[in-house]
Amino acid sequence: MILLGSTGSIGVNTLAVAKKFHIPVEVLCAGTNITLLNQQIQEFNPKIIVIANKEDYHKLCYSNAKVFFGNDGIIQAIQEAKSHLVVNALVGFTGLYPSLIAKQCQKKLALANKESLVIGGWLFEDYPITPIDSEHFGIWYLLNNRPIEKIIITASGGAFRDMDINQIPMQKAQQALQHPNWKMGKKITIDSATMVNKLFEILEARWLFKQSNITALIEKTSSIHAILNFQDGSSTAHFANPDMQLPIAYALDPIQAKQQHIIKLFCFEETFCFCFEKIDTKRYPIWSIKEQLLENPKLGVVLNASNEILVQYFLQEKILFGEIAQNLFKVLDFFSNQCHINSIEELFELDNKVRIYTKEILK
C-alpha cells in the first residue's frame, strides 16, 4: 500500500486497518510530524518514505528505506512503488496531482482527498475511484443497482449550529474549531462550520455517482450518513457509528471488510430520536451556491482555491468568520464566467489566478 498523508486522522486510521488486515505498507508519506512518522516507520517498515522538507531528513529514524522530499517526491514514490493501491489522504489542492499520477500508473485510488474531485472531477470520469468518506461510502453501500431519484447526504452542522445567528459572523478561529461531535483537522473543522465541506461532498457525489439531484440535511448525531430516494418512491438510509475505519476497510480490502467486525454495531435503543433539519442559508450563507455548483461543477476550482486562502487568513486571525462567506461570494461572482477549463494546465492557471485575486481583495 502507498499511503499519502500517514500522520493525519485518515492516515492513522488507515494504518490501523492495514495492520488488522495484514496489508504491507510500502510507502509512507507525511508532512512535518516526524515524531509520529518515526513511530509508523518502526512499526510498518516501509521501503519508501516521503517528507515535506529536506531540513527534517536528519530527524528520521529508518533503516534501508529510500527517502524522497516534497511534491516531486510524492510523484516519484507513486511511480516507483510496486504496490497497486494508493490511499490519498493529503489535504487540499496538493492532493490533485498525486491522484492524477495514480490514474496514469493505473493503480487503484482510494480517495480521502476531497479536492481531487472538487477541482478536477472531470479528469477522473473514465477512472474508477473508491471514496474514503462516510457519506459517499453510505451512498455506495445502499445503491444495489436500483434507479435513484435523489441523493441526500447529512451534515453535523459544525461549531455554530446552535449559536444565535447574529453572533456567528464575529466569531474567531478558537470558537470555530470547537466541533460538537469530534476532533478533526483545523481546515475541515472550519469548512464544517461554514458548510463548504458539505458543498465539496455534494460535488464529489456528482462526479462519483453521475447524479445531479443531490442535497444535504443536518443530522446532529452523525449516525445517518446517506439517504437514497429511489424512483419507486421508497427510501433507504445508511446508519453507522461515526468511525472512518468502516469506509477505509472497504477501500483497502472489501472481502476482508465484509467478513470482519470493523466498528461497533449501531445501537438503536440508545438513540432517542433522529431529527433532520434543512440547511438554513441565514446560518450558512455559502450553501446558497449549491445549485450553481451542480450546474457548473468546474466552479469547484474557484471555490476551493479561494476557500483555502480565506481559511488560512481566518486561522491566522486576519479576518472574522463572517468574512469567509462574504469574500467567497465576491470571488465566485468575479470568476463565474471564467471556468471553461479543458486541460490540467488551464486548471492550474485558474487556481493560481483565484488565489492571487482572493489575496488582493483581502488587502
Which pLDDT score is estimated for 234?
95
Q: Are residues 116 and 151 in the same domain?
A: no
Which pLDDT score is estimated for 33?
95
Which residue ranges are tagged as binding site for Mn(2+)? 133, 135, 201
Which residue ranges are tagged as binding site? 7-10, 31, 33, 113-115, 133-135, 156, 179, 185, 192, 197-198, 201
Which pLDDT score is estimated for 291?
96
What pTM value is reported for the model? Answer: 0.92
Q: Looking at the 3D structure of the chain, how many domains does it have? A: 2
Q: Are residues 199 and 332 in the same domain?
A: yes
Q: Which residue has the cell 463572517?
A: 322
Q: Are residues 327 and 342 in the same domain?
A: yes
Which pLDDT score is estimated for 272?
66
119-152 exposure pattern, b = at least 16 Cβ within 10 A, e = fewer = bbbebbeeeebbbbbbbbbbbbbbeeeeebeebb
Q: In this structure, what are the phi and psi dihedrals at residue 111, rounded to the nearest 5 degrees?
A: -110, 115
Q: Measuring CA to CA, how many Å separate 248 from each of 112, 122, 133, 202, 217?
A: 9, 24, 8, 20, 24
- Could you tell me if 350 and 301 are in contact, meaning their C-beta atoms sit under 8 angstroms apart? yes
Q: Are residues 32 and 174 in the same domain?
A: no
Each residue's pLDDT expressed in tens, for the chain with a length of 363 residues: 999 999 999 999 999 999 999 999 999 999 999 999 999 999 999 999 999 999 999 999 877 899 999 999 999 999 999 999 999 999 999 999 999 999 999 999 999 999 999 999 999 998 999 999 999 999 999 998 889 999 999 999 999 999 999 999 999 999 999 887 777 789 999 999 999 999 999 999 999 999 999 999 999 988 999 999 999 999 999 999 989 999 999 999 999 999 999 999 988 887 768 899 999 999 999 999 999 999 999 999 999 999 999 999 999 999 999 999 999 999 999 999 888 899 999 999 999 999 999 999 998
Q: Are residues 75 and 194 in the same domain?
A: no
Q: State the residue range of the domain holding 317.
A: 135-240+280-362
Q: Are residues 126 and 139 in the same domain?
A: no
Closest to 135 measured CA to CA, from 181, 61, 199, 185: 199
Residue 83 and residue 106: Cα distance in Å, rounded? 11
Q: Are residues 120 and 224 in the same domain?
A: no
State whether residue 28 is helix, strand or coil.
strand
* DSSP bridge partners of 168: none
Which pLDDT score is estimated for 204?
97
Q: Which of 74, 106, 131 is the last residue of a domain?
A: 131
Which pLDDT score is estimated for 99?
98
27 in a structural domain: yes
Which pLDDT score is estimated for 274?
87
Q: Which of 86, 109, 131 is the last residue of a domain?
A: 131
Q: Are residues 42 and 172 in the same domain?
A: no
Q: Which of 108, 131, 154 is the last residue of a domain?
A: 131
- In terms of Cβ atoms closer than 10 Å to its own Cβ (0-12, 13-18, 19+), residue 64 is exposed
Which residue ranges are tagged as binding site for 1-deoxy-D-xylulose 5-phosphate? 114, 134-135, 156, 179, 192, 197-198, 201
- Around Cβ 112, how many Cβ atoms within 10 Å? 26
Residue 96 and residue 88: Cα distance in Å, rounded? 9
- Written as nine digits, the cell of 75 is 510523484
Which residue ranges are tagged as binding site for NADPH? 7-10, 31, 33, 113, 115, 185
DSSP, res 180: S
Q: Are residues 125 and 159 in the same domain?
A: no
